[in-house]
Every structure is written in C-alpha cells, then in structure tokens.
Amino acid sequence: MTTDAKSTPEPSGFVAWFEQFLKNELAPYPGRGVVVARTVIAATVTMLLIMTFRVPGGALGALYAFLISRESLRSTFRSGVAIAISYVAAVTFVLVAADVFADQQSARILWFAASMFVTFFGLRALRYTEVATGFAVLVVNALPIWQIPQTAEYRVEHTLWQALAVGIGTVVTIAVEIIFHAIRPRDEIVDGIRERLDAVRALLLAYAADKLVPSETVDRVARYAMVGTSGLRRELARSGYEASINDRWSTVISLVGRVVDLGVSAVVRPHHLSIREHEHLRRLDTQLRRIQSHLGNSRNTLIAEEFMDSAAVTSSSTQLAEMDRSLSMLAQVLQGADLAQRVPKTDSRTDNPVNEQDAFSLFIPDAFRNPEHLMFAIRGSMAATLCYLIYELTDWRGIATSVTTCVITALSTAGSSRQKQILRVGGAITGGLVLGIGSQIFVLPDIDSITSFAILFAAVTAMGAWIATSSSRLSYFGVQLALAFYLINIQEFTIQTSLTVARDRVVGILLGLFMMWLVFDGIGGTTAADSMMRAFCLNLRTLAEMFEQIDRSDLSAATQRAHDLREEIRSHFDKANAQADGVPFEFGLRRERGMAWRSLIRKWQPRLRAVYFLEAASFQHHLYERDDALPASFWTAIGVVHRDCAQLLLLMADRLEGKLMSPGPIRRVDSGLRLLSEAIPAMMLTPVQLERARGVIDLSRQACDELTAVLTEMLEMSALSESSSQVNSVFVGD
C-alpha cells in the first residue's frame, strides 16, 4: 500500500502510466471548479483594470491570482497584507540601491548580482512565503528598468508602475475571495479533509454490502488518492498558522491521505466478508463519523477515549487493520489540539516565554546556519546574472523575461530535475508558443474589443488554473502556462502587432529555464529517488535528535533546539514528498526500483509524522506544566525511553543507507514504560499529576509501538537488502 498516492497497482510502462496519470490529475473533484472560477475572475478583473488604466507590467499582477492563499478568508487577508508590506520593502530596496549604483556603469553588474542574491536568499530563508514572494516578484520586475539608459524620472515612475500592477492583482484577488467567502464560506483544509473522509466512508459502506462496489464510488476515492494531499499541504504552508497548530494539521493531513489510500486498496479484490470484518467496518464507519464531527474544534479531549476500544478489534484484512491504526493515531493527534491554546511556562531568569524571541523572527531558525540556503542563493543569483549578461552583451533586451522566469521558477516545489524541466518547458511552450503566439496569429487579428480579448484571456486562465489545481506533480505546468501567456499578451496595455515581441519573450522564458536547469540540476544533479532517500534518512536522524531533547537539564536550551528541529523536520518531510512526486518522471532501468522505494517512503511518511507529533505533544506536556509539575524522576524515566526511540530511528537510517546490514533482533523500547507505570503509585501524585503522567505515558507508548512496527516492516522487506547498495551509493563521499 502507498500513501498520498493511488494505492491501486500503477501501470508498469511509462506511456500507460502517463495516460492514467493525466486522466486522474485532470479529473474534476469537489471544490476544484470553485477554485478555478475564483482564479479566473480575479485574474480577468485584474487584466481589465490594467488595460483600462494603461498600467505597464501587468503580467505578474494577473499571475497573483495563482499565488495568494485561499485556505480561509483570514489567511487570504493576512497573505495580502504580508504581500503589501513586501511591496513597500522591495520598492525601498530598489530605490535606495539605485541611488547608489544606477549612475555607475561599472557597478551595475555587481548591483544586479547582489540584488539577485538577496532575492533568492529571501525565497529560501524568510519565514513568511508571502513576503518572500512579493519582494522577489517586484525586485525582479523593477531591476531591469534601472539597467536601461533612461532618465531617473522615467525609471522611478516605471518602478512605481510595477508596484501598482502587482498591487492591483493583490487587491482584486482579496476582494474576490471576500465575495466568495460571503456567498460560500469554506475552509479549504478542513473541508478538504472532511470530503476525503466522507468518500472513504461511502466506499466502506458499499464494501460492507458484500456486493461489487460501484465504479463511481471507487473512482471518487481513487481520484483523491491520485491528487494526494499536496494541495492541502500547499494551503497549510500559506495559512500562517502558529507552529504547533501547523504541526498538528500537517500530521492530520498526512494521516488522512493514508486513510484514503488504504480505503482504495481495501476494495481492490472484493470478497465475501466475515462477521468479524463486518463488525470492523461498522466500527471504522463510526470512527470516521466522529473524526469528521470533531474536525475544526479547538479542544477534542474526548475523541481518543471514544476510540480506545477500537484497538481491540482485529481483522483478516491488512488494509482494514492499518486503517484502524491510522484512525487511532488521527484521534490522538486531534486530542492534542488544545495544547496550542495554552501559555508556555516562563524562563525563571527573565519571566518571559521561552520562545518569545522567535515570535517576531522574520527568518527561519537555521537561515544563517544551514549552508543549503546560502548555496541556493548563490546558484539562483548565478542563473539570473548569466541571463542578464547574455541579454546585455547581445543587446537583446527583449529576452529580459529570462530573469523573471528564474525567480518564478524558484517558487516551484517540483521534485526531480527532469520533472521540473518537463513542467517548465512544457508550460512555456504551451502558454508561449501555442497559446501566446498562436492567439496573436489566428485570434487577435479578428478581435476588436476588450470584451472579446477578456473571453480569450479567461479561457486560457481557466486552462492554466485547472491544471494548477492538480497535485504538485503537474500543478506548476499550469502556472508556467499562464505566466508565458501573460508575459506575451498583457505586459503592455495594448495588443502587439508584431510577433517579434512575443518571440523574444518566449526565448527569454526558455533561456531562464535553461539557466535554472544548468545551475541547479545540470551540474552535479541527482535523481529524484536518490534525493528522496537522502531527505528521508536525514529526517530520521533529525527526529532522533528531537527525541533526545525531552530530558535535557536546561529546559530553555532544549526548547530552543526543539523549535529549530521542528522547522527542519517539516522541511525534510516536504522535501521527501516533493522528490517522491518526481520519481515517476524518471526514466531508465532504475525507474522501477525508484518506484518501489517511492511506495515505501510514502507509506512510512505519515506514520513518522504521527510519531513526530506524539513526541512534540509529550515535550509540550513538559514545557507547559506550571502547577502540580511532575517529579524529575518521572521525566528522567521518560527520557530513557525516548533515547531508546532515538536509537531506533538511527538504526532505521543506518539500515536504509546500507551502513548496517545485520542489526540483529529488535529490542522492545517500551519496557521502561511498563516499569514506570508500575512505579507511579509510589510517587504519591495528585489527581492532576496522575492524569498528566498517564497521558504522557500513553503518548510515548504509541510512539514506541509505531517506531517498532516501522522498523520491523523495514527489516522484513525482502527487497531491502537487494537495494541497499543502490541506496548506499547516494551517500558515498558525504
């Protein structure tokens, strides 16, 4: 079984797989049409305003309909405010630097390269995606204006025009969201989860009827499995939730994706159900209904108790048993929702919250420590600067769109280099050559009104938006398609009568894509499967360090380190998912092996997310306790168990990397919990302390059980030893 992907057997041949891939990616699902409609309306209204008021540089203004969050009205408004702030920062940055460097011909190249470095570093290291995106888009649009021989007045005026163009796109998109939320209130994350669980319920009920399950019921769940949870993860990343709430929802989304896949695999081969399986299906239906009713509530303290007896249910179906485990973990995660509402205990030396310094941090915790951020900025700056040098040295300023393409490309989370190139080049050719230049040759000569052009614009935008609402395996194609079309047709407030402009802009887009591929992927690039394994193993080691923080004597330092690790773990999870999405685009003899590893990684990812959340909840119990604190001996005993869990995680990483071929029998790590449970009566705890102690022990036991199960499954995989040499090759020389 797999998670976050369709669990039915994938076609072995690439052509067959690709046909099925497109069919499932482009199929409608609940809510997709509404999102596309909102995007089309926002982009079209933006275009009309730009054309009416003759605002230069309107392409990126219209593109903002694709970039602003739609998770909720609150997050959309917050996203718009953050972007507005980023515009002010970008205009200030450009104008201040221009005052120093604009009139110094010899310093312009250094100014451009340094500005690109700051831009790409911000895309990687800024905590708020909206701020990074808004800053980058405006800087990359304004800088070319200052590289042309014009008066200062002209350049300042056009810099402000650029800010107005993207500002119009932001305001219009937010206004459209306000109207849609007033007409049809919707929380994309919560409603998306509920719809997936409702589809699984319908599937299980049909399965329980002991008849052939209707194809439309299977297709509904299979479509959710194919689309996966990348859209929900994307909305979560833009939501701006506090970190602990973000972790909770991220774990919920991952577990729900696993439940969807298990539901599909459970009915691949329908058979006559036993009495025990009928009972199990009824209990699963009850669990699903209760979880749906609890979604969105801030305090769900009773949900885990309602599911306590579910663990006793067994089934001859492996899929149903796994679904039971996933729903139990999901209930436990939802039970911890109230932790985010509590006030952390203060540092005794300052009487301030331990992590108060991070509340207003603009950068992610490892922004200035992780060399990957620096390398990303250097590579991005190099790609953009090479584009700049080419169009300056050749005096071909029409291909300046190459620099814009470099920055927009850096926003993509596509996995492998091959996947990136297919999506980017395919989108550029479709949007630029086929739709952009094609419309100028065959359509625009017959258009004599803004109404006719708006219909054409809306049709192309709808096509791009429909593709953009696919999973991360295809969504960037839609964004690139729209960008290429916009750069050709609405960069000015008039219809171009010469194909030279369109040709130059398409060439610029392709140049930018080539430079990004050359700098990021062409030199020393690795396959998606190798990158996926590297990210997964690195996350195992980071999780191990997280487990070691709970019994550190310096709680303030442990809290700070856990906070930093939380950001790293989230990043590793996302990177592993992104690279897994790129594996199907790989070719050659190693593709089949990569697909096998992809299935395993996507199966283990949600389980490790649940383990991570359980560990975070245990740590929060230690951090947040103020009155009736548990004795130090209790936390020392818990620390021993968690160090054993850390050793299990390191064992998994060593095994996957091929460093440990024969680990021997697996030692149970929860024996310390049994001893601790037996010793609790002697601790003379108050009722409040006793309840808290049992809660921590239960969280730790679930984490131990899940880790042991994952490692056991890992060691039992017959293909693991055959593939370990391939995995190990990834790490040679590290």
State residue 127 phi and psi, 5-degree precision.
-70, -35
465 in a structural domain = yes
Largest CA distance in the chain: 89
Query: 181 and 45 in one domain?
Result: yes
Q: In this structure, are 647 and 585 located in the same domain?
A: yes
Q: Considering the domain boundaries, does residue 604 fall inside one?
A: yes
The conformation of residue 437, written as its DSSP 8-state character, comes to I
In this prediction, residue 115 carries a pLDDT of 93
Q: Based on the domain organization, do 437 and 572 belong to the same domain?
A: no
Greater confidence (649 vs 294) lies with 649
First to last CA, the chain: 32
Burial category of 255 from C-beta neighbours within 10 Å (exposed 0-12, middle 13-18, buried 19 and up): buried
DSSP per residue, 319-386: HHHHHHHHHHHHHHHHHGGGGGGSPPPBPTTT-SBTTHHHHT-SB-TTTTT-HHHHHHHHHHHHHHHH
Q: How much is the average pLDDT of 267-287?
A: 71
What's the pLDDT score for residue 495?
66
* HEC string for 55-111: CCCCHHHHHHHHHCCCCCHHHHHHHHHHHHHHHHHHHHHHHHHHHHHCCCHHHHHHH
Q: Is the domain of 388 the same as that of 330?
A: no
The two structure tokens encoding residue 31: 């809510």
How many residues are listed for the chain in this entry?
734
552 with 663, same domain? Answer: yes
Residue 125 confidence class, pLDDT cut points 50, 70, 90 = confident
Q: How many whole angstroms separate alpha carbon 437 and alpha carbon 506? A: 9
Amino acid type, 603:
K
SS3 label, residue 733: coil
- pLDDT at residue 47 in the model: 92
The answer to whether 199 and 224 have CB atoms below 8 angstroms apart is yes
Place 313 in a pLDDT band, splitting at 50, 70 and 90: very low
Does the pLDDT of residue 725 top 70, yes or no?
no
DSSP single-letter state for residue 683: G
Closest-CA residue to 470 (of 479, 457, 483, 482): 479
**Long-range Cβ contacts of 416-419 (<8 Å, 24+ apart):** 416/527, 416/528, 416/531, 416/579, 416/582, 416/583, 416/585, 416/586, 417/517, 417/520, 417/521, 417/522, 417/525, 417/528, 418/528, 418/582, 418/585, 418/586, 418/587, 419/473, 419/528, 419/581, 419/582, 419/585
Give the per-residue pLDDT at 54: 85
Q: Which of 506-515, 547-556, 704-713 has the highest mean pLDDT?
A: 506-515
Structure tokens given for 34: 């509404």
Which residue type does 516 have?
M
Q: What's the pLDDT score for residue 114?
A: 93
Q: What is the mean pLDDT of residues 78-87?
A: 78
Reported as a pLDDT band with limits 50, 70 and 90, residue 192 is confident
The pLDDT of residue 300: 40
402-461 tens-digit pLDDT: 888 888 777 665 445 556 667 778 888 899 889 988 998 889 888 888 899 999 999 999
Residue 44 has pLDDT above 90, yes or no: yes
Q: What percent of the chain has pLDDT over 70?
A: 77
CA gap 713, 6 in Å, rounded? 21
- Claim to verify: residue 177 and residue 203 sit in the same structural domain: no
Beta carbons within 8 Å of 541's beta carbon, 6+ residues apart: 649, 650, 653
Q: What angle, 0 to 180 degrees and rounded to 10, lies between the N-to-C axes of helices 215-227 and 243-266? A: 140
- Residue 121 CB contacts under 8 Å (≥ 6 apart), including other chains: 373, 374, 376, 377
Enumerate residues 6+ apart whose C-beta is below 8 A from 328: 307, 310, 311
Q: What is the DSSP string of 225-285?
A: HHHTTHHHHHHHHHH---HHHHHHHHHHHHHHHHHHHHHHHHTSS--PPPHHHHHHHHHHH
Residue 24 lies in a domain: no
What does the pLDDT read at residue 461? 95
Q: List, for residues 636-665, the tens digit of each pLDDT value.
A: 888 888 888 888 898 888 888 876 555 555
Q: Which domain holds residue 703?
A: 526-731
The predicted model gives 4-17 an average pLDDT of 52
Q: Is the pLDDT of residue 488 over 60?
A: yes
Same domain, 171 and 207: no
Q: How confident is the model at residue 1 (pLDDT cuts 50, 70, 90)?
A: very low
Burial category of 561 from C-beta neighbours within 10 Å (exposed 0-12, middle 13-18, buried 19 and up): middle
Same domain, 492 and 554: no
Model confidence at 620: pLDDT above 60: yes
Within this chain, do residues 664 and 586 fall inside the same structural domain, yes or no? yes
State the average pLDDT over residues 342-364: 46
- Does any domain span residue 352? no
What is the SS3 assignment for 463? helix
pLDDT of residue 664: 55
Instruction: Give the count of beta carbons closer than 10 Å to the beta carbon of residue 626.
Output: 10
Neighbours of 625 (CB within 10 A): 17
Residues 634, 683 contacting (CB under 8 angstroms): yes
* pLDDT score recorded for residue 615: 82
The rounded distance, in Å, linking the Cα atoms of 53 and 246 is: 41
CA neighbours within 13 Å on the CB side: how many for 615? 34
What is the Cα–Cα distance from 86 to 83, expressed in whole angstroms? 5
What is the rounded distance in angstroms from the CA atom of residue 154 to the CA atom of residue 447?
32
Please indicate, yes or no, whether residues 530 and 646 belong to a single structural domain of this protein. Answer: yes
Tokens for 695, please give them. 């809660």
User: Could you read off the pLDDT of 224-268 as tens digits, one per residue?
Assistant: 876 667 667 767 766 656 666 777 777 788 788 878 877 777 654
Q: Identify whether 123 is part of a domain.
A: yes
* Among candidate residues 522, 557, 587, the one where a domain is terminated: 522
Q: What burial class does residue 185 get, using C-beta atoms within 10 Å of its C-beta: 0-12 exposed, 13-18 middle, 19+ buried? A: exposed
Tell me if residue 53 falls in helix, strand or coil: coil
Q: Could you tell me if 484 and 555 lie in one domain?
A: no
| Residue 381 confidence (pLDDT) | 93
Residues 597 and 726 in one domain: yes
pLDDT exceeds 90 at position 216: no
**What residues are paired with 353 via a beta bridge?**
346
- By three-state DSSP, how is residue 29 classified? coil
| Highest averaged pLDDT of the listed ranges 144-148, 336-340, 421-425, 522-526 | 144-148
719, 458, 493, 682: which is closest to 599 by C-alpha?
719
Q: What is the 3-state secondary structure (H, E, C) of 294-312?
A: HCCCCCCCCHHHHCHHHHH
346 or 626, greater pLDDT: 626
Report the distance separating Cα 223 and Cα 201, nearest Å: 15
- At which of 296, 317, 337 does a domain end? 337
Question: Can you give the C-alpha Rg of the chain in angstroms?
Answer: 27
Q: Is a pLDDT exceeding 90 seen at residue 121? A: yes
Per-residue 3-state assignment (H helix, E strand, C coil) for 384-404: HHHHHHHHHHCCCHHHCHHHH
Q: Is the pLDDT of residue 375 over 70?
A: yes
As a whole number of angstroms, the distance between CA 592 and CA 584 comes to 9
Look at residue 553 in the predicted model and tell me its pLDDT: 74
149 phi, psi to nearest 5 deg: -75, 90
How high does pLDDT run on average in the chain? 76
Cα separation of 311 and 328, whole Å? 8
Last residue of a domain, one of 287, 319, 337: 337
Q: Is residue 25 part of a domain?
A: no
The structure's pTM equals 0.67
pLDDT for residue 119 is more than 90: yes
- Per-residue pLDDT, 301: 39
Total domains in the fold of the chain: 3
pLDDT per residue over 498-514, tens digit each? Answer: 788 888 888 888 898 88
- Tell me how far apart the alpha carbons of residues 503 and 211 are, in angstroms, rounded to a whole number: 59
In a domain, 244, yes or no: yes
pLDDT higher at 586 or 169: 169
Within the chain, how many helices (H) and strands (E) appear?
A: 29, 0
The identity of residue 463, as a single letter, is: M
Whether residue 596 is contained in a domain is answered as yes
Which has more confidence, 594 or 452?
A: 452
